[in-house]
Structures are given as C-alpha cells and as structure tokens.
Amino acid sequence: MPSLLQKINTLISANVHALVDSALEANSVKVMDEYIRQSERNLDAVEDAAATIGGTVKTLKRKYEEFAAAAEKLDRDIDTLLVRGKADLAAAAQAELNQKQQMAQEYYEQWQSQEQEYRRMLDAKLKLEAKLTTIKQEREHLKALMELVEAKELTTKSIKSLDDLAGVGDEDVSRLGDQIRARLDREEARLEMATTDVRDQIDEAIGTTEIELQLEERRQRLGLGGSADA
C-alpha cells in the first residue's frame, strides 16, 4: 500500500498538460475535478501527519537537550571528584555519564530522522498546494474555453489536445489555447523555483545545526564555555 508521501508525490508529478488534454478530449472538466478532490484529501492528511511529526520532533529535541545537559554536568562533576580524590564516586558518575551520553545520542539520532521526515512533509505540502492552485485556475480557464467553442458551434470538430487548437482556425479559440499553454509553462517553472528554494533552506538549516553542534563540542573541550560570546 503506497505511503502518504508516495500518494502526494504521484499527485505532484501529474502532467498538467495531459490533464488539460484529457479534459478537452472528453469535453468535460471532470478529470480535473477528480484530481482536485484527491489533492485536497491528501493535503488534509499531510497537514495532520506533519502536525503529529512536528510534535514528535519537539519532544525528541527536548529529550536530547535534557540528557545532553545532564551529561555535561556529570562530566564536570567527575573532574571535581577526581581532583578531590573521590575515585569511587567518580567511577559511579562515569558509569552514569556513559548511560546518559548513550541516551542523548539515541534521542539525537531520532530527532534528526524525524526532523528530515517533517521537512519532507512540509516540502510535499508546499509543492502539492502550488500544483493544486494551478489546476484550479486552469479548470476555470478550460471551462470558459469549452463554453466558447460550444457557443461558436465548433463542437463538431475533434479537439483532443491543446495542439489541436492551433488548427481550429478560430482566432479567439486559438488565442485562449495559447494562453493556457503559456500559463501552464509559467506555473510549472514557478513550482520548480519554489521547490529549489525550500530544499536550499532545509539544507542550510541542517548544515547550520551540525556546525553549531561541532563548535559547541570544541568549546567544551577547550573549556571556553557555552557560547562564542562568553
């Protein structure tokens, strides 16, 4: 059974030109209406899923930070115990530190995994919303085109695609067909740009997080405190 993201990606990858051609061939916008219904249902589902995963991400991050902070305190306490000659207490603290570091690492890995899933959900939601907006707009334009063709008594001609419109011979119909094609190309280009921007933002956010963690680890090792400004 396909996953929610697989269903979303299938809807996103739908060929808008093919949908328009199918509607023209059937002389009906029903195929576009069905796409709109499916997209809206899956948008509701992905919003619910994203909210759930987003909550999990926050919980895992909080757990990681709690264990990381506890491990950091224990690490300092062990040094203090060793300096004071309390080796037994230091050994017990070291064992506890090892456990908390392991737990912190596990929560961190889960947090990062769920964060990536959350970002994929948001990315899919953005792309499907953009595609759905395009389909809804073109549905109205196509409906108007069909009404125009019918009004001009051109329904006896076999119009099966936007390419066929170029040969209809009626200037108004051909112009509307060209306008539909141009809008589809423009909206698909905008979708590609939006997708690229989101992907760059995600990569930048994840990269920044990794760098901050690396620098924090280095500051702790060098005894420089919790931040660069300290």
Domain count, the chain: 1
Within a domain: 60: yes
Within a domain: 203: yes
Within a domain: 14: yes
Range of the domain at 16: 4-222
> What percentage of the chain carries pLDDT values higher than 90?
33
CB half-sphere exposure, 147, CA atoms < 13 A: 6
Per-residue buried b or exposed e for 56-83, using 16+ beta carbons within 10 Å of the residue's own CB: bbeebbebbeebbebbbebeebbeebee
Within a domain: 119: yes
Query: In this model, does residue 122 exceed pLDDT 70?
Result: yes
Query: In this model, does residue 192 exceed pLDDT 80?
Result: no
- Phi, psi at 8, each rounded to 5°: -60, -45
Within a domain: 143: yes
- Phi, psi at 29, each rounded to 5°: -95, 15
Within a domain: 228: no
Q: Looking at the whole model, is its pTM more than 0.75?
A: no
Within a domain: 77: yes
Within a domain: 75: yes
- Identify the residue with better confidence: 20 or 122: 122
Query: In this model, does residue 162 exceed pLDDT 50?
Result: yes
Under the banding of pLDDT at 50, 70 and 90, the label for residue 230 is very low
Spell out the residues 6+ positions from residue 68 whose beta carbon is closer than 8 angstroms to its own: 104, 108
pLDDT of residue 197: 54
